[in-house]
């Protein structure tokens, strides 16, 4: 999974997240996240948070996501960072944040760089430390989703979207959060289509009507034939969920559900663990099996 590109997109939308992960106080004023090419060299800093020009007290923050082990990373990173400061002479102080999925990815030569990583300006962040932290905002919730195990990611995504419906996370609209959650899951669950992911997350609720999926697939005034499509989609999702063929009687029953029942099943199956859960759900419908 392209963890680094997901994080750089996150920081573009919510620069404060980099400060939160590193345990730094976010200065007032809008930050802009961008890549920086250092002139007359082959060096490129993938992530630089640049403060407003009228805030010389606010730091320039160098952010690097290092998802793969690389023994040469710190030599390259500090060379790029110091050369940037030399070339640009910014009036601001600086901070550096290096983000690893786990401690296992870090490769540090302590003889060369041990004192540098110990500088107060440098913070190393290990995302494994955030897996079980309470979700205090959409940013932390998305971080937890990125580093979650694939088998847990759908449930985590559903919980995050549910929290977003009641929390006051002003940096994210419901549609923006839903689109980013979908993008993460497309990376993590490549065998599922975007439509299947959207449906399993229940993105047909009224508070998410802005999403592209709702407008294109579950828009009000649905066309004739949607019942059959919904039933077939439910069957495909259930087969993927259980990893085995469904009982013939259950398939027949699902194909006979009304449109509303089929859509309700698509939302409910996210919580199913075994075929017995499906059997119990179908038994509760009218008419019964």
pLDDT at residue 220 greater than cutoff 60: no
The full length of the chain comes to: 289
pLDDT tier, 179 (very low <50, low <70, confident <90, very high otherwise): confident
220/211 Cα distance (integer angstroms): 13
167/161 Cα distance (integer angstroms): 10
Give rounded-to-5 percent helix, strand, coil for the chain.
55, 10, 35
Q: Residues 18-38: what's their mean pLDDT?
A: 82
Residue 34: per-residue pLDDT? 78
Quick one: what percent of the chain has pLDDT higher than 70? 85
Strands 44-50 and 60-65: antiparallel
Q: Which has more confidence, 193 or 61?
A: 61
pLDDT at residue 223 greater than cutoff 80: no
pLDDT tier, 182 (very low <50, low <70, confident <90, very high otherwise): confident
Q: Residues 91-111: what's their mean pLDDT?
A: 94
Residue 216: per-residue pLDDT? 45
Residue 98: per-residue pLDDT? 95
Q: What is the mean pLDDT of the chain?
A: 81
pLDDT at residue 132 greater than cutoff 50: yes
Helix/strand/coil for 7: helix
pLDDT tier, 94 (very low <50, low <70, confident <90, very high otherwise): very high
Q: Residues 211-230: what's their mean pLDDT?
A: 51
pLDDT at residue 115 greater than cutoff 80: yes
pLDDT tier, 203 (very low <50, low <70, confident <90, very high otherwise): low
- CB contact at 8 A, 98 and 125: yes
pLDDT at residue 31 greater than cutoff 90: no
Residue 214: per-residue pLDDT? 41
pLDDT tier, 200 (very low <50, low <70, confident <90, very high otherwise): confident
- Domain 3-188: assigned CATH number: 3.40.1350
Give the domain ranges of the chain.
3-188, 221-283
Nearest to 63 by CA among 36, 28, 89, 92: 36
């Amino acid at each position: 999974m392209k963890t680094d590109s997901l994080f750089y997109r996150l920081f573009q939308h919510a620069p404060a997240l980099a400060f939160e992960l590193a345990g730094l106080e976010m200065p007032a004023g809008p930050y802009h996240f961008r890549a920086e090419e250092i002139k007359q060299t082959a060096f490129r800093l993938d992530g630089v948070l640049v403060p407003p020009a009228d805030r010389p007290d606010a730091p320039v923050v160098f952010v690097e996501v290092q998802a793969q082990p690389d023994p040469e990373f710190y030599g390259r990173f500090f060379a790029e960072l110091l050369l940037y400061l030399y070339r640009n002479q910014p009036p601001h102080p600086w901070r550096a944040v290096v983000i690893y999925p786990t401690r296992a990815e870090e490769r540090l030569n302590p003889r060369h760089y041990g004192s540098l990583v110990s500088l107060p300006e440098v913070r190393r962040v290990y995302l494994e430390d955030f897996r079980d932290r309470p979700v205090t905002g959409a940013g932390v919730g998305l971080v937890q989703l990125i580093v979650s195990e694939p088998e847990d990611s759908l449930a985590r995504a559903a919980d995050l979207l549910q929290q977003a419906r009641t929390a006051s996370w002003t940096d994210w609209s419901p549609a923006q959060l839903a689109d980013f959650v979908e993008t993460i899951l497309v990376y993590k669950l490549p065998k599922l289509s975007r439509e299947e992911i959207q449906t399993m997350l229940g993105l047909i609720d009224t508070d998410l009507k802005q999403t592209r999926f709702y407008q294109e697939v579950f828009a009000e005034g649905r066309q004739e034939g949607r019942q059959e499509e919904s039933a077939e989609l439910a069957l495909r999702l259930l087969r993927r969920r259980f990893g085995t063929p469904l009982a013939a009687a259950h398939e027949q029953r699902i194909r006979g559900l009304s449109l509303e029942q089929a859509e309700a099943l698509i939302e409910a199956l996210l919580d199913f663990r075994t075929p017995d859960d499906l059997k119990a759900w179908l038994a509760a419908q009218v008419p019964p099996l």
